[in-house]
Structure 1
Amino acid sequence: MSTAEPGDSATPTWTMGRLTRRSVGGIAKLLVLAFVVHTFVVPQVGGARAALSTVSGVSPWMVAVAVAAEIAAIVSYGELTLTLLPRQRHLSLAFCTGTALASMGINHVLPGGAATTAAVNYRIYGRAGVPRAELAFALGAQAIGSAAVLNLILWCALLASIPVSGFHPIYASAAGVGAALLLVLGAAILALQRGRERLAHEGSRILGRLPFIEPESVERAVRTVGAQLDALVHTEGVLLRATVAAGLNWLLDAAALWLMLDAFGPRPPIVGLLVAYGLANVIAAIPITPGGLGVVEAVLIPTLIGFGTPAAVAAVGVVAYRLVSFWLPIPTGVACYALLMRRTPEPHPRGVSALLGDIIEHPDDPAGETRAG
């Protein structure tokens, strides 16, 4: 005989509904991933058998240099974060690089794109004592600035490739997205610099009509972001260092791809590689699969083939590159996450699986203080 109270029946129903929604969402994403891999990746890998038969001819030296380039790219991203955070926080490059690797590794396991990365960063930096307002601005500037630099690289590569390989319709779409992003970014910076009070007033008037949003909070947020942007722009050398770090992050990652392809066959044209790399990363920004798994491969391989890279070399080189840039950061990133989380002792130490569970259940709890009873 059940001893449950009448009102208790709602709890398992709500829990089951929540689990069902999660299961359906997870199955849908797996189906999308399977479709992408089956439709775009598998047909390309068939040509890799010839390269696999001659894998003994691969240069270990080039592979080692490619791994070093990928590590340098991650360090550059850590330098970008360190540059954008206030200096008085006294964070080290090693700490920021470890956090970048942790967020990358977990983002490659869990879907959600930028939301998953932000949750990891909030958790680690929050425990390190970085205020949420400062961290939110730094992460936002990092994401937007990094995307702008990527689109600028893609634009330059597209312009350089047109005289050589001609114009393709997909170029127009990619260039249009990049141009729109740069225009929106420029307009936002201009509005915050020269029309801050008007933006704060109009934003609070419009957004204040929405439920659960206070007009005063909108005004305060606009003024805070504007003040932080002033500090970023007017602090000597910060903007230049951030731009250089973002550029190095993308270019070193692209260099790792170029070196992997070179290790398996003839050197690919640099302009064609940058076009393929830029297109793949712009499209992979849409959080369809964790870390763009399947999407990056589906764009890189045929685009590289279109620029003259042999099919076998393109397939094997991209797989080797993704092994270093996607799969290798997963175990190292999870290890970094566990290590950084334990930097601040907790009353009840938890395993890595529990730490990952916290990100899924409480992404907005930077200190990890919300626990199941």
Structure 2
Amino acid sequence: MTKVREAWHRLRHSRAVRWISVAVVMLLVFEYVVLPQILGSDSVISAMQRLPVVLLVVAGVLEVLSLCCYSALTSVVLPGSVKPRYFTLLRIDLSDLAVNHVVPGGGTTSAALRYELLTKSGVRSQNALSAAMVQVVGANLLLGVLFGVGVLTALGEVRTNRYFVIAGITVLVLLALSLAVLSVLDRHLGAAVRAARRAARLVRIIKPESAERFVRTMAAETAMFRRDPRRLAGAVVLTACYWGFDAACLWTFLAAFGHPLGPGELLIAYSLANLVALAPLTPGGVGLVEGVLVPTLAGFGAPNEAAVLAVLSWRILNFWLPIPVGGLAWLSLRFGVLRGGRQSGARVQ
């Protein structure tokens, strides 16, 4: 208990925690007080209170399933036979998500926290880096696939909008290039390493050694998945479920506020907003996601008020609730299974 009190005392007097708390409060005020007034919609909380409890439970379950699938994906992409238990991985991912949602450009900071927690739970350093790299790249690639599928599915609705068509073609071209790059890594690793080091020296953003490590890690993971197609299939299915359950949660709120979308339109709007959120400009893409998603839904015929209420209701479950839940998950790890430093790994149960 003494250690817990000391840690709580340090947190209370931490300047970083105070700034983060102020930033979170300002974001909440902007998103749920200022933004609805600007867009002319009803209060989000009061609108949600009028929804049936069963519908809110369904939306919550869909979001929980999405997070659970992501942690199952973490287990699948982690190399090696010794891994933390599933519940430990789930708490690590929730901690990662909470930091990502409160720190501007939080991907780097949350990745460092995730790496620390994984290594303390018994995962080898190289395996932790490899899993993070493959998981992020693979999830974003599949998100691009979903956007392309959405454009093809809703081609009749979007073919008159040249912006959607151009975006769809661009994403498909980038996906084709990504597959070509993976093929080159598999067959011509030496040439790929030399090209990566040369590019790193030209752009001077990352060190040539880091670029080489990235290329070799991706090549090793590609070869591993090629040798184990069942593992690759499992990773693809879990990634699709991760995005799919989250998109279904958004669809549930859209239907609740009177404007259910077709699957193609939903995939276009959802994938486009999340692709834009990859830019490390705001914590977790807050403001970017809403700024893209609301007008996109309105472009598909959703009334402005319904679009705002549905998106902001979804963001409560998707963005805001994981912050306190992730904080509690981190505390449970810090003063529980990971107390005292590195722990021995265990098979996932």
TM over 0.5: yes
Q: SS state of the match for residue 243, structure 2?
A: helix
Number of residue pairs aligned between Structure 1 and Structure 2: 320
> Distance in 1 between the 2:290 and 2:199 partners?
42
State the Cα distance separating 1:204 from its structure 2 match.
4.9
Is residue 47 of structure 1 aligned with residue 76 of structure 2? no
Q: Which residue of 1 aligns with 2:176?
A: 183
Q: Which residue of 2 aligns with 1:312?
A: 305
> Distance in 2 between the 1:54 and 1:334 partners?
28
Q: Which residue of 1 aligns with 2:338?
A: 344
Residues 186 and 219, structure 2, Cα contact 8 Å, conserved in 1: yes
Q: Which residue of 2 aligns with 1:288?
A: 281
Is residue 128 of structure 1 aligned with residue 124 of structure 2? no
Residues 161 and 271, structure 1, Cα contact 8 Å, conserved in 2: yes
State the Cα distance separating 1:164 from its structure 2 match.
2.3
AA aligned opposite 1:69: L
**CA 1:298–1:54 in structure 2 vs 1: closer, same or farther (change >3 Å)?**
closer
1:93-108 mapped onto 2 (5 Å cutoff): 93-108=86-101
State the Cα distance separating 1:313 from its structure 2 match.
1.6
AA aligned opposite 1:301: V
Q: Which residue of 2 aligns with 1:192?
A: 185
> Distance in 2 between the 1:184 and 1:294 partners?
30
> Distance in 1 between the 2:206 and 2:35 partners?
45
> Distance in 2 between the 1:311 and 1:272 partners?
16
Is residue 248 of structure 1 aligned with residue 216 of structure 2? no
Residues 297 and 307, structure 2, Cα contact 8 Å, conserved in 1: yes
State the Cα distance separating 1:168 from its structure 2 match.
2.2
1:155-304 mapped onto 2 (5 Å cutoff): 155-172=148-165, 174-204=167-197, 222-223=215-216, 225-304=218-297
> Distance in 2 between the 1:231 and 1:65 partners?
37
State the Cα distance separating 1:345 from its structure 2 match.
2.4
After superposition, what is the alpha-carbon deviation per residue over 1:146-200, rounded to whole angstroms, capped at 9, x for unaligned? 0111111111111222312443243245325523531342132111111012323
AA aligned opposite 2:307: A
Is residue 64 of structure 1 aligned with residue 63 of structure 2? no
**CA 1:166–1:172 in structure 2 vs 1: closer, same or farther (change >3 Å)?**
closer
TM-score, length basis structure 1:
0.75
1:141-152 mapped onto 2 (5 Å cutoff): 141-152=134-145
AA aligned opposite 1:94: F
State the Cα distance separating 1:142 from its structure 2 match.
0.6
**CA 1:180–1:133 in structure 2 vs 1: closer, same or farther (change >3 Å)?**
farther
Q: Which residue of 2 aligns with 1:351?
A: none
> Distance in 2 between the 1:248 and 1:218 partners?
31
> Distance in 2 between the 1:332 and 1:37 partners?
20
**CA 1:262–1:122 in structure 2 vs 1: closer, same or farther (change >3 Å)?**
same
State the Cα distance separating 1:267 from its structure 2 match.
2.4
AA aligned opposite 1:78: S
Runs of 4+ in 1 over 4 A off after TM superposition: 40-44, 51-57, 201-215, 217-225
Q: Which residue of 1 aligns with 2:9?
A: none
Residues 41 and 298, structure 1, Cα contact 8 Å, conserved in 2: no
**CA 1:190–1:110 in structure 2 vs 1: closer, same or farther (change >3 Å)?**
same
> Distance in 2 between the 1:220 and 1:263 partners?
48
State the Cα distance separating 1:64 from its structure 2 match.
0.8
**CA 1:54–1:105 in structure 2 vs 1: closer, same or farther (change >3 Å)?**
closer
AA aligned opposite 1:263: A
**CA 1:221–1:262 in structure 2 vs 1: closer, same or farther (change >3 Å)?**
closer
Higher mean alpha-carbon deviation, 282-291 vs 192-201, is at 192-201
**CA 1:212–1:179 in structure 2 vs 1: closer, same or farther (change >3 Å)?**
closer
Alignment RMSD, CA only? Answer: 3.5
Residues 48 and 313, structure 1, Cα contact 8 Å, conserved in 2: no
Q: Which residue of 2 aligns with 1:10?
A: none
AA aligned opposite 1:46: G
State the Cα distance separating 1:305 from its structure 2 match.
1.6
> Distance in 2 between the 1:306 and 1:280 partners?
14
> Distance in 2 between the 1:286 and 1:223 partners?
25
> Distance in 1 between the 2:206 and 2:165 partners?
40
AA aligned opposite 2:83: H
Structure 2 residue runs of 5 or longer lacking an equivalent are: 1-14, 344-349
After superposition, what is the alpha-carbon deviation per residue over 1:197-229, rounded to whole angstroms, capped at 9, x for unaligned? 2323454566579799577x8767644542332
AA aligned opposite 1:158: V
